[in-house]
Structure 1
């Protein structure tokens, strides 16, 4: 599941008798059924996987018939609900007008950052204006995402910041024991944990490895949204820089917390602004030092760099220097890492996110 889907899986714990309208089946549908929700799948033939956030609105023209059918089905589903909660770009764009027509309040959980690095100008204008007209609340995970929405033309009084929350159970065993069990090498080891995509910046870390002899890196994640070509270029880049033997591509994993605890540091190398940064919080909870690019919400999560090392985007030399410092003087980062874990526990727990969103939805329902 994507980060937004993982958030939704945790959020619905407060709404076990709700219904979920999904464009397709899969792991998210299974997780929501397990949480007690009634699942309603879109009619066969309604696949919208070809519509991505980085394409022109003109690409939607060939599937207008499917979009209209989905909108009609969504209107029917919305009539039986007190509040409609859209958890993705596609869900919001499709539900906006139907929910307005049937008179149901719409909450949009915006998991993206509406800026020029991620969306075209036309896309940003359409989404902001549609939100102003049809959404009673727009939930975002960070102040950076809120400002981007306002800059795109969205109304500030519609925005509520609710940081993503998650829980992580630590394995009490030492890192060396975890490495042995996970089949990871001994010696200096860092990790990158995210889906494989150009804007996630795994290539920058591979470039950085070439400047730190002896350092190995685990790359955890896969290409989720048609970015397989980029995944292939990462292996080619590692070979070109002479670090193929020091980069371990582990693919999609279900044991990320243990993998994080087994490395010496976690790198979050996004080259474009992040709306949140779930990986950062996971690493903070795992109790390992963090190196992150200063883009989007990273500075907000890491308290301006007090709880982790912030570097400029697209700077492998700065990542290499930061990792070398952590590896050379691990004791100097112990207190910062401890404080980072305390902040993550206090501010980014799943229960706090659930409570905040439940309160907001109750308010929306009461005013409807």
Structure 2
């Protein structure tokens, strides 16, 4: 039987976490279509993997529609949204299944696939709760999922539970953990730091886009209680969080730690940067649906500290393979970092176990296989496997 013809839909071409997952997920589907709302790095990534890339007419700039705003905020661009639905519907008719990789892509694809009578898979990369989405947006997404989606894929049990708690049907949702691999730099840490222009001092790192809920400000406040320790902040404000990014630099100056904080901006060499760290911190103050940087740090053999919210405990096996602290607690974060630095040599067995867990549970090949099976099942019209309600 020939492979189904798949159309992958995404609203942004900025390479954030969900787009990195998509770039890995499409590897088994050369010849498929990527329908993207705007031009950018993701277009090139899809083309380099053998996909036919279609860029929508009038689809740019929709990232400005905020997650926590009322659907009425979309009224000024309603005409463009209707036109996008029509474009997606026309393209969907020559495919066997549509795979929506973002909320905006899903909402428009739900309407389009209803018109085109094609099955829809939604890869939900977020926690559907009040910390991330307005009530009206959550209700809209869940109702459309229940009515239009053949399958909802999530990266963690935490994300699945949130979907069901928001009103989603438990039988729709399946957990497929994100998968990734990294290239290791086998040189000593001091040599890597020299190449990166970083001082050879005790150093922690936080790696994510700059946004208040990602918690970089908590790391700066913890740093004020960690004299002599430097921090790398890698990432940028990708979706309209420029004021928060500016505020981080002001906060560092206010706390007197500016000389110990290295703001590196958006980077493409995160795994190598991680290998230069003594500790990697995952400081989100609201639940995360996954934790890509946690898995990268585990593969790199670097100790991790994560806030005990969302999928972090799931990835770290309840704290067996990393240190969990309460969210938004700079004091607890500082204590955890100090303890790791004081007992670094004792952590080698835990770090080896963490690397093995990352390879076993979160490998990219396993993710591709699981996604391909579910896409094929959706295209064939088979009912998705039932996941018990939490």
Question: Which category of TM-score, normalised to the shorter sequence, fits these structures?
Answer: over 0.9
* Count of matched residue pairs: 368
**Partner residue in 2 for 1:21:** 35
Contact 2:31 2:52 in 1 (8 A): yes
Distance (Å, rounded) in 2 between the aligned partners of 1:21 and 1:52:
21
The whole-number CA distance in structure 2 between the counterparts of 1:234 and 1:167 is 30
In the alignment, what sits opposite 1:358?
372
Which one of 189, 195, 210 corresponds to residue 224 of structure 2?
210
Alpha-carbon RMSD: 0.9
Distance, in Å, in 2 between the alignment partners of 1:287 and 1:233 is 32
Do residues 328 (structure 1) and 339 (structure 2) align? no
Aligned to 2:268: 254
Q: Residues of 2 paired with 1:166 and 1:98: CA distance?
A: 31
Instruction: Specify whether residues 45 and 107 from structure 1 end up closer, same or farther in structure 2 by C-alpha distance, changes over 3 A only.
Output: closer
- 3-state DSSP class of the match of 1:76? helix
- Please, which runs of 5 or more residues in structure 1 have no aligned partner? none
1:177 corresponds, among 184, 188, 191, to 191
1:86 and 2:100 matched = yes
Cα deviation 1:36-66 (Å, max 9, x = unaligned): 1111111146531321212221101111100
**Helix, strand or coil at the partner of 2:34:** strand
Residues 58 and 80, structure 2, Cα contact 8 Å, conserved in 1: no
Alpha-carbon spacing, 1:45–1:363, altered in 2? closer, same or farther (3 Å):
closer
Query: How many angstroms apart in 2 are the aligned matches of 1:58 and 1:65?
Result: 13
**Match runs of 1:232-311 below 5 Å:** 232-311=246-325
Q: Which runs of 4+ in 1 moved over 2 A?
A: 44-47
Query: Which of 198, 218, 243 pairs up with 2:212?
Result: 198
Residue deviations 1:209-250, cap 9 Å, x none?
A: 011110100000000000000000101111111100000001
The 1:84/1:40 distance shift into structure 2, 3 A limit, reads same
Unaligned runs of 5+ in 2: 1-14, 383-390
Aligned mates of 1:50, 1:178 — CA distance in 2:
38
Alpha carbons 1:46, 1:70 under 8 Å: kept: no
For residues 154-173 of structure 1, give each alpha carbon's deviation from its aligned partner in whole angstroms, at most 9, with x where no partner exists: 00000010000001111110
TM-score, structure 2 as length reference: 0.93
